[in-house]
Amino acid sequence: MKLATYRDGSRDGQLVVVSRDLRHAHYASATASRLQQVLDDWNFHAPQLEDLSQALNQGRTRHAFAFDPVRCMAPLPRAYQWVDGSAFINHVELVRRARNAEMPASFHTDPLMYQGDSGDMLGPCDDIACADEAFGIDFESEVAVVTGDIAMGASAETALEGIRLVMLANDVSLRNLIPAELAKGFGFFQGKPATAFSPVAVTPDELGAAWQGGRLHLDLESILNGERFGLCNAGPEMTFHFGQLIAHTTRTRRIRAGTIVGGGTVSNKDWTRGCSCIAEKRAIETIEGGTPRTGFMRDGDRIRIEMKDADGASIFGAIDQVVRIPR
């Protein structure tokens, strides 16, 4: 099934079930009004929503309405945890190579993850508000999952079974703030403002054979100001699959229902596929020509992130955001 959260003026919005083709939606209020409620008691609520989803897909509901992504908040407009891995080692390698930094061997066996702010998630069409273009505004096109409860010390295999939903993320990054911030030693803070998510979160069964071994084997498209910036496959080159990222998280703590886990900037070794963030393109330009040519995002710039299935149909709807610098 496919789920979304409609804006209704409240902090958590209204849960809706969306048809497979993203054309229709139906309020889920007979089951639950908020997605977090469903995640809190998944085995009770999910079957009811599956029934509604089936009826909606078969055109059997009486109160369906046209689905409009612009009315969406993030599927979880505020979440209790957001952790993000940098699971595509190719991305890490490129960025380090561009600044002549060594790549520690451990990076191939020990996932790189950071703790993000989950208190204020952006909807798919919300503006990227930023005080200053000089911060170096960048997008990062990612796949993310939402989990149920997972115990401390869970194996990667057990962790995989705890994945409830899959969605897309734009992990907005302020590149020019990051070097000084990381040099302080405590990790990202101001450099990672609010993250945006796709209109729709889907259960893994909606992905069919493309969801395999904890990876989503499909192309993720990034379009910057109307031009394709990247079309990178999110599957085989994901060094650590989502079960491994979750297991890394649970080494010293349990995680609770509604935790969002990101897979990091999708990145492929084949440079003709383009990039899922500007920083990586700048790294390639630096490696090739000594200096980056592509600038970061400016006021009014637009980023669209989308993933299509084998038949060319959008799975999650598109993240479609414009940068707005307050004057």
Give the pair of three-digit tokens for residue 147: 């989990």
- C-alpha distances in angstroms, 94 versus 112, 185, 275, 285? 15, 22, 11, 10
Give the pair of three-digit tokens for residue 93: 């390698």
**What one-letter code names the amino acid at 110?**
D
Please calculate the CA angle 183-92-223 and round it to the nearest 5 degrees: 110
- Binding to a copy of itself (CB under 8 A) within 191-210 occurs at 191-194
CB of 107 or CB of 271, closer to a copy of itself: 107
Bridge partners of 5?
15, 73
Give the binding range for a copy of itself (CB under 8 A) out of 106-114, 296-304, 306-314, 316-324: 106-114
- Binding to a copy of itself (CB under 8 A) within 222-241 occurs at none
CB of 252 to a copy of itself, least distance (A): 4
Give the binding range for a copy of itself (CB under 8 A) out of 57-65, 104-112, 212-220, 295-303: 104-112
Contact between 99 and a copy of itself per CB under 8 A: no
Contact between 78 and a copy of itself per CB under 8 A: yes
CB of 39 to a copy of itself, least distance (A): 10
* Residue 180: burial class (beta carbons within 10 Å; 0-12, 13-18, 19+): exposed
Give the pair of three-digit tokens for residue 41: 């008691």
Count residues contacting a copy of itself (CB under 8 A)?
Answer: 52
Contact between 8 and a copy of itself per CB under 8 A: no
Query: Which of 69, 116, 162, 317 lies at the binding interface for a copy of itself (CB under 8 A)?
Result: 116
Spatial neighbors of 121 by CB under 8 A, at least 6 apart, are 73, 74, 76, 77, 78, 79, 82, 194, 195, 196, 197
Quick note: the x/- pattern for a copy of itself over 245-284, rule CB under 8 A, is ---xx-xxxxxxxxx-------------------------
CA 7 to chain centre: 19
Query: Which of 117, 133, 285, 309 lies at the binding interface for a copy of itself (CB under 8 A)?
Result: 117
Give the binding range for a copy of itself (CB under 8 A) out of 25-33, 101-109, 291-299, 316-324: 101-109
SS3 at position 62:
coil
Containing H/E element for 228? strand 227-233
CB of 30 or CB of 101, closer to a copy of itself: 101
- C-alpha distances in angstroms, 76 versus 181, 214, 271, 296? 28, 21, 34, 28
Contact between 174 and a copy of itself per CB under 8 A: yes
Contact between 45 and a copy of itself per CB under 8 A: no
Phi–psi pair at 144, nearest 5 degrees: -135, 155
CB of 65 to a copy of itself, least distance (A): 28
Residue 13 carries which DSSP code?
-
Q: How far apart are CA 123 and CA 128, in angstroms?
A: 10
Contact between 14 and a copy of itself per CB under 8 A: no
The residues of the shown chain that bind a copy of itself, judged by CB under 8 A, are 11, 40, 78-81, 83, 86, 104, 106-107, 110, 112-120, 129-131, 135, 152-153, 174, 177, 182, 184-194, 248-249, 251-259
